[in-house]
């Protein structure tokens, strides 16, 4: 069973872009748009792309592995949908890590500690579908 709800998994399936927040070795926060995929084998969020091995995000994960990841959009007239994931990130390289042809064989994998989502149930005010939960077996970092 996934740590993500079926609504969250369905939402991820329809999205291609998220935002990854990290903290660099100097303590400065950094946010970058990233391509992602849900990995059902490990129940993680995998982030990959071109130039991964030379990227700031690749370097920053070593200095501070705690990250936040957000996927969001807005449906008209004003219906925001959001899934926020906080967790520990690791860097992986080698065969099987590429997102596809032309992409680096390297990715950042996020193991969720905490998940928050809202706006994923059609026709409901966003507050009614809000959830905030620590993933079982981990401490809520908030």
- Segment 63-105, tens digit of pLDDT: 899 999 999 999 888 889 999 999 999 999 988 788 888 888 9
Share of the chain above pLDDT 90, in %: 63
Closest listed residue to residue 113, CA positions, set 88, 82, 83, 142: 88
Give the span between the Cα atoms of 43 and 39, in whole angstroms. Answer: 5
Cis peptide before 77 (omega within 30 of 0): yes
Residue 69: which of 103, 105, 115, 100 has the closest Cα?
A: 115
Residue 42 burial by Cβ neighbours in a 10 Å radius (0-12, 13-18, 19+)? exposed
Q: Is the pLDDT of residue 47 over 90?
A: yes
The string of pLDDT tens digits covering residues 125-136 is: 554 444 566 776
What pLDDT, on a 0 to 100 scale, did the predictor assign at position 129? 47
Quick one: CATH architecture of 6-134?
Answer: Roll (2.30)
Q: Please say if the pLDDT value at position 140 is more than 50.
A: no
Query: How confident is the model at residue 137, as a pLDDT?
Result: 59
Is residue 13's pLDDT more than 70? yes
**54 phi and psi, to 5 degrees?**
-105, 5
User: Model-level pTM?
Assistant: 0.88
Give the pLDDT confidence of 104-122 residue by residue, as tens digits. Answer: 899 999 999 999 998 888 7
Per domain, the residue ranges of the chain are: 6-134
Q: Comparing C-alpha atoms, which of 101, 17, 26 is closest to residue 56?
A: 26
Q: Tell me the average pLDDT of the chain.
A: 87
Residue 123 reports pLDDT greater than 80: no
Number of H helices, E strands in the chain: 2, 7
Q: What is the pLDDT of residue 126?
A: 55
pLDDT at res. 42: 94
Residue 27 has pLDDT above 60, yes or no: yes
Distance CA 105, CA 94 (A): 5
């Amino acid at each position: 069973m996934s740590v993500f709800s079926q609504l969250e998994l369905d939402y991820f399936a329809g999205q291609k872009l998220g935002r990854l927040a990290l903290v660099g070795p100097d303590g400065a926060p950094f946010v970058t748009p990233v391509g992602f995929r849900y990995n059902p084998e490990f129940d993680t969020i995998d982030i990959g792309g071109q130039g991964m091995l030379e990227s700031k995000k690749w370097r920053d994960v070593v200095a501070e592995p705690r990250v936040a990841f957000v996927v969001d959009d807005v449906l008209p007239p004003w219906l925001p949908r959001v899934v926020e994931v906080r967790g520990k990130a690791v860097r992986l390289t080698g065969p099987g890590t590429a997102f596809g042809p032309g992409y680096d064989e390297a990715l950042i994998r996020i193991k969720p500690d905490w998940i928050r989502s809202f706006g994923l149930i059609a026709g409901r005010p966003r507050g009614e579908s809000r959830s905030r939960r620590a993933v079982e077996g981990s401490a809520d970092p908030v």
